[in-house]
């Protein structure tokens, strides 16, 4: 799977919540996109990722 | 004097200074916001870091409206994607559309901006489109449901001032939406001037971020924007094209 453009391992039953935890992202303060679709926060524990998935994890930073 | 309220997206603002949060240390955001008296601050959406870097939202004072931008978007579709992510980040439904195809001058793509505005207003966003000051585009943006129009004064980050002054004035005169001048304003005097012209608000980032003393420059901009607004509300004195008109009585008691 790809997370923010980097190829990563995808274990069995790997949920979005587990992915955030493994990658060191704070659950609050990020938004997750799975294959171009936004994953709602309340679906993080039930959404299971697959080997071919493309995941983006974004947050706010300074900008004009 | 009656209170001068700035209505935007159904929300009331007393401040007409929208502050950017780019190019300076997050530790200075609170002081800059306070000195600016800003009630709205722009942010960008980027891939998250996992290096434990603090959340920028922790540095923004409570009650300040967040205005995420879609910087990095090269077309309407990418801007829509960023806008949806920004809303998912839980900051309300304001969005500043910023679509650039050109990486040298960072000029906005007006046609794509209209497309993105149409899509996002239908999804309930309060859309503030950054644009090149063109009257036809501004009309299209108004028809598409934009909450304001944000024409550039000069290229982003240039601090070059009111290069597009005449065209901004046309938008102010012809468009029935708040005109928020964004990008290129480098000095408080330029912010003041555009407010005197009737702009509804000013957005500035680089002018403050690259100043010697960031909070102090934020305060200088606040004062300039307020002065310009007050001058606009009071109505500027007329210009006499030729000759002069005495301000003091020319009583000729010194010579008969």
Residue B133 structure tokens: 């000051």
Look at residue B44 in the predicted model and tell me its pLDDT. Answer: 96
Look at residue B33 in the predicted model and tell me its pLDDT. Answer: 94
What radius of gyration do chain A's Cα atoms show? 11
Look at residue B198 in the predicted model and tell me its pLDDT. Answer: 98
Catalytic residue among B2, B30, B96, B222: B96
Contact yes or no for B42 and A4 at CB 8 A: no
Cα of B165 to nearest chain A Cα, Å: 21
Dihedral angle sign, alpha carbons of residues B46, B50, B54, B58: positive
Residue B218 structure tokens: 């934020």
Q: List the single best residue of A33, A61, A63 to mutate versus B (max B Cβ within 10 A).
A: A63
- B204 membership: H or E segment, kind and range: strand B201-204
Known catalytic residue at B96: yes
The whole-angstrom separation of Cα B235 and Cα B100 is 37
Three-state DSSP at B180 gives strand
pLDDT at A57 over 90: yes
What does the CA dihedral B18, B11, B148, B206 come to, rounded to 10 degrees? 10
Look at residue B27 in the predicted model and tell me its pLDDT. Answer: 84
A48–chain B Cβ distance below 8 A for any pair: no
Task: Please answer whether residues B148 and B121 qualify as being in contact, where contact means their C-beta atoms are separated by less than 8 angstroms.
Answer: no
Residues of chain B with C-beta less than 8 angstroms from the C-beta of A63: 20-22, 42-44, 68-69, 71, 205
The whole-angstrom separation of Cα B18 and Cα B42 is 7
A6–chain B Cβ distance below 8 A for any pair: no
Residue B221 structure tokens: 């901009």
Q: List the single best residue of B48, B89, B123, B150 to mutate versus A (max A Cβ within 10 A).
A: B48
- B127 membership: H or E segment, kind and range: strand B126-131
Q: Give ipTM to 2 decimals.
A: 0.93
pLDDT in tens, A8-33: 999 999 999 999 999 999 888 899 99
Chain A residue with minimum CA distance to B24: A62
Chain A residue with minimum CA distance to B209: A64
Task: Please answer whether residues B32 and B24 qualify as being in contact, where contact means their C-beta atoms are separated by less than 8 angstroms.
Answer: yes
Look at residue B128 in the predicted model and tell me its pLDDT. Answer: 98
Cα of B169 to nearest chain A Cα, Å: 23
Cα of B17 to nearest chain A Cα, Å: 13
Three-state SS for B71-100 is: CCECCHHHHHHHHHHHHHCCCCCEEEECEE
pLDDT at A50 over 90: yes
Q: Among residues B61, B56, B12, which one has the least CA distance to residue B36?
A: B61
B106–chain A Cβ distance below 8 A for any pair: no
Look at residue B107 in the predicted model and tell me its pLDDT. Answer: 95
Contact yes or no for A23 and B20 at CB 8 A: no
Contacts for A11 with CB less than 8 Å, ≥ 6 apart: none
Residues of chain B with C-beta less than 8 angstroms from the C-beta of A26: 55
Q: Count other Cβ atoms within 10 Å, centred on residue B200.
A: 21
Look at residue B52 in the predicted model and tell me its pLDDT. Answer: 59
Q: Domains in chain A, ordered, with CATH?
A: 2-58 (3.10.20.30)
Cα of A18 to nearest chain B Cα, Å: 14
Q: Count other Cβ atoms within 10 Å, centred on residue A22.
A: 14
pLDDT in tens, chain B (256 residues): 679 999 999 999 999 999 999 998 888 899 999 999 999 999 999 999 877 567 898 899 999 999 999 999 999 999 999 999 999 998 899 999 999 998 899 999 999 999 999 999 999 999 999 999 999 999 999 999 999 999 999 999 999 999 999 999 999 999 999 999 999 999 999 999 999 999 999 999 999 999 999 999 999 999 999 999 999 999 999 999 999 998 988 777 777 6
Q: Domains in chain B, ordered, with CATH?
A: 17-234 (3.20.20.70)
Contact yes or no for B48 and A63 at CB 8 A: no
């Amino acid at each position: 799977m790809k997370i923010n453009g980097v190829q990563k391992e995808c274990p069995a039953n790997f949920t979005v919540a587990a992915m955030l935890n493994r990658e060191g992202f704070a659950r609050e303060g990020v938004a997750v996109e799975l294959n171009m679709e936004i994953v709602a926060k309340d679906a993080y524990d039930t959404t299971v990722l697959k080997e071919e998935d493309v995941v983006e994890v974004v947050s706010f930073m300074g900008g004009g | 004097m009656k209170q001068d309220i700035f209505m935007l997206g159904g929300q009331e603002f007393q401040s007409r200074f929208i502050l950017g949060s780019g190019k300076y240390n997050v530790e200075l955001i609170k002081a800059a916001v306070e000195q600016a008296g800003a009630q709205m601050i722009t942010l960008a959406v980027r891939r998250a870091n996992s290096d434990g870097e603090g959340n920028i939202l922790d540095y923004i004072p409570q009650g300040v409206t967040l205005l995420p931008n879609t910087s990095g978007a090269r077309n309407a579709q990418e801007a829509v994607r960023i806008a949806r992510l920004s809303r998912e980040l839980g900051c309300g439904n304001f969005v500043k559309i910023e679509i650039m195809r050109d990486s040298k001058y960072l000029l906005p793509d007006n046609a794509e901006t209209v497309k993105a505005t149409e899509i996002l207003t239908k999804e309930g966003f309060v859309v503030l489109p950054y644009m090149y000051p063109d009257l036809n585009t501004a009309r299209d943006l108004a028809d598409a449901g934009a909450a304001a129009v944000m024409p550039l004064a000069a290229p982003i980050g240039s601090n070059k001032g009111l290069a597009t002054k005449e065209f901004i004035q046309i938008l102010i005169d012809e468009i029935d939406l708040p005109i928020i001048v964004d990008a290129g304003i480098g000095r408080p005097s330029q912010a003041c001037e555009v407010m005197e012209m009737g702009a509804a608000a000013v957005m500035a980032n680089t002018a403050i971020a690259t100043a010697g003393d960031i909070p102090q420059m934020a305060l200088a901009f606040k004062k300039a924007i307020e002065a310009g607004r007050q001058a606009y509300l009071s109505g500027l004195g007329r210009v006499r094209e030729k000759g002069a008109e005495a301000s003091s009585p020319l009583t000729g008691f010194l010579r008969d």
